[in-house]
Amino acid sequence: AASRSGQTAEPVALATEATRRGCELVVVGAPGSPLHELAQRARGTFIPVDSGGPVRSTPWALTVPLLVVGSRLGVARVEDDTYEAAATAMEDISHQCRPASESFVNPGKSLALDLAGRLPMVWGGSLVAAAAARRFASQLAANAKYPAIFGALPAAGYDQVATLDGPFVPAPEPEFPAAEDLTDAAFDEFSDDDAGLDDDAADGPMLRLVLLADPAGEHPSVTRVRTAAVSLAEGRGAEVSEIAMDGDTPLLRLASAVQLLDYASVYLGIACGIDPLAIAAIKDLRDLAERSV
């Protein structure tokens, strides 16, 4: 059971039920929390984590203990030096994305500027890429208060791809007749209204496809779908950002991608004049839900 605060209702309820059923309990959370007390009563293993700062800024505080436990139990394979390699890669990305670095050499700022005023549709083609894509959509909402669509290939290529024919993609340029065919009737037929040139629609948010490419973890058929999606989107006038996930282990690829995407979500919030740390809506929803009980 993992909860940074150690008091989130769902993991506390699950840990309570697991203890009642006689399960062995491993808890990751804050010292002195309800989860800590449950672990003590169940004589389970407790792994303390720092409870300072927003939980979304410290994903690895909860993730790494679970990976270590998974390795000890034989359900995950993560070598000890993999953690160090991932940490080194994250430090390198942090240096590239530092606030003092200009946007043209700062991948976090560049991606944020690409997304500003656009509706991101984020797709991942492997299990690792899909996890990073889902987190990016969540981080865009939490840090930039910005909506995004999450999808996992190949399924997204069979349903969400239909949005490339929708109102969030620039309307195609009208095909005008040849000069010798320009009769009065032809002019009427190819008026602005009939050609779909809607100024209001053109001013609205346009779709931007964000693809997380993970060649080392993708099935070849998924790679073909992802490559085709780039051509299809560009052919329809949609903007595309493709981010390559590099590294010889899943953890290294995930850590590198998450670090970059987290920076981009914060920079997008700043670019939009939003405080990335604000949580008013989250708190209001929690309070309203508790009152309804």
Closest CA relative to residue 125, chosen from 149, 147, 155, 148: 155
Cβ-proximal residues to 94 (8 Å cutoff; 6+ apart), any chain? 259, 263
pLDDT digits (tens, 9 = 90+) for 144-193: 999 999 999 999 999 999 999 999 998 766 565 555 554 555 434 434 44
The model's pLDDT over 229-243, given as tens digits with 9 standing for 90+, comes to 999 999 999 999 999
Task: Give the pLDDT of residue 205.
Answer: 77
Give the list of residues 6+ apart from residue 110 with CB closer than 8 angstroms, or none.
103, 104
Quick one: 120 exposed, middle or buried, by C-beta within 10 A (0-12, 13-18, 19+)?
buried
Residue 51 has pLDDT above 80, yes or no: no
Q: What does the pLDDT look like over 255-284, one tens digit per residue?
A: 999 999 999 999 999 999 999 988 888 888
User: For residue 88, which phi and psi values (nearest 5 degrees)?
Assistant: -65, -45
74 and 135 within one domain:
no
pLDDT for residue 204: 65
Query: Whose CA is closest to 268, among 56, 118, 164, 150?
Result: 118
Judge whether residue 196 has pLDDT over 90.
no
On whether both 71 and 127 belong to a single domain, the answer is no
- Please tell me what DSSP assigns to residue 282: H
* DSSP-based three-state secondary structure for 268: helix
Q: How many domains does the chain have?
A: 2
Which residue, among 15, 62, 69, has the nearest Cα to 38 in the 3D structure?
15
The CATH number for 212's domain is 3.40.50.10490
> Does the pLDDT of residue 31 top 90, yes or no?
yes
Q: Are residues 156 and 280 in the same domain?
A: yes
Looking at the structure, tell me whether residues 74 and 138 fall in a common domain.
no
Asked whether residue 142 is domain-assigned, the answer is yes
* 52 has pLDDT over 80: no
Residue 63 lies in a domain: yes
Rounded to an integer, what distance in angstroms lies between the CA atom of residue 41 and that of residue 51? 22
* Region 120-132 average pLDDT: 96
Question: Which residues touch 126 (CB under 8 Å, ≥6 apart)?
Answer: 214, 217, 218, 219, 222
Which residues, other chains included, contact 55 with Cβ-Cβ below 8 Å and sequence gap of 6+?
A: 4, 5
3-state secondary structure of 17: helix
Distance of CA 205 to the CA centre of its chain: 19
Do 241 and 280 share a domain, yes or no? yes
Based on the fold, state whether residues 13 and 137 are members of the same structural domain. no
Residue 85 lies in a domain: no
DSSP for residue 124: E
Q: At what angle do helices 127-144 and 250-271 cross, to 10 degrees?
A: 20
**What is the pTM for the complete model shown?**
0.84
Structural domain of residue 221, as residue ranges? 105-171+192-293
Per the DSSP assignment, residues forming a β-bridge with 2 are: 28
Burial class of residue 78 in the structure, from the number of CB atoms within 10 Å of its CB (0-12 exposed, 13-18 middle, 19+ buried): middle
Is residue 23 domain-shared with residue 166, that is, in the same domain?
A: no
The answer to whether position 152 is within a domain reads: yes
DSSP 165-192: GSTTSPPPPP-PPPGGG--HHHHHHT-T
Q: Are 113 and 69 in the same domain?
A: no
Q: Are 217 and 253 in contact (CB under 8 A)?
A: yes
